[in-house]
């Protein structure tokens, strides 16, 4: 399965999940939103097109496959994605600045829990 086999909603601009908001070489992930189960390139795409408010994945569900590598189509578990800087399958680098707004997508469990 590749990224082209998964429907990416919102405002994508290419087959590697870049969108009108985030389209650098490193912006190659799409997030499956907990509220609807649909993949979007970013929180802004969801906000503009989903028709409902977003909800972050609960910290207890970090084993959910909710991140799609736009380069190879590999689906990562949340826990796995939060622990890497590149796709474990194809080694495509992910944008490290995405960590600045990870809380929009995922409840981050406190350290030690």
**Domain locations along the chain:** 3-104
The string of pLDDT tens digits covering residues 34-55 is 999 999 999 999 999 999 999 9
Q: What average pLDDT does the chain have?
A: 93
Q: Please tell me the predicted confidence (pLDDT) of residue 5.
A: 80
Residue range 84-105: mean pLDDT, rounded: 95
Burial of 105 (0-12, 13-18, 19+ CB in 10 A): buried
Q: Distance between CA 81 and CA 20 in Å, rounded?
A: 23
Q: For the residues 75-98, what does the mean pLDDT come to?
A: 96
Instruction: Report whether pLDDT(4) > 70.
Output: no
Residue 90 confidence (pLDDT): 98
C-alpha radius of gyration, the chain, whole number:
13
List, in order, residues 6 or more apart from 68 with CB less than 8 Å away. 3, 6, 8, 17, 29, 30, 31, 32, 39, 74, 75, 76
Where would I find the H helices in 1-113? Answer: 43-49, 78-82
Instruction: Print burial letters for 52-78: b (CB count within 10 Å at least 16), e (below 16).
Output: eebebbeeeebebebbbbbbbbbbbeb
Q: Given this model, what pLDDT does residue 110 score? A: 64
For the chain, percent of residues with pLDDT exceeding 70: 92
pLDDT value of residue 108? 79
């Amino acid at each position: 399965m590749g990224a082209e086999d998964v429907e990416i909603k919102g405002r994508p601009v290419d087959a590697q999940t870049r969108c009108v908001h985030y389209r650098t070489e490193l912006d190659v992930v799409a997030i499956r939103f907990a509220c609807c189960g649909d993949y979007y390139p970013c929180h802004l795409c969801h906000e503009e097109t989903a028709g409902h408010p977003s909800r972050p994945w609960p910290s207890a569900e970090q084993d959910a496959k909710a991140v799609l590598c736009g380069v190879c189509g590999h689906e990562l578990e949340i826990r796995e994605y939060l622990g890497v800087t590149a796709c474990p399958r194809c080694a495509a680098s992910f944008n490290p600045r995405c960590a600045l707004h990870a809380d929009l997508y995922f409840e981050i469990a406190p350290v030690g829990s």
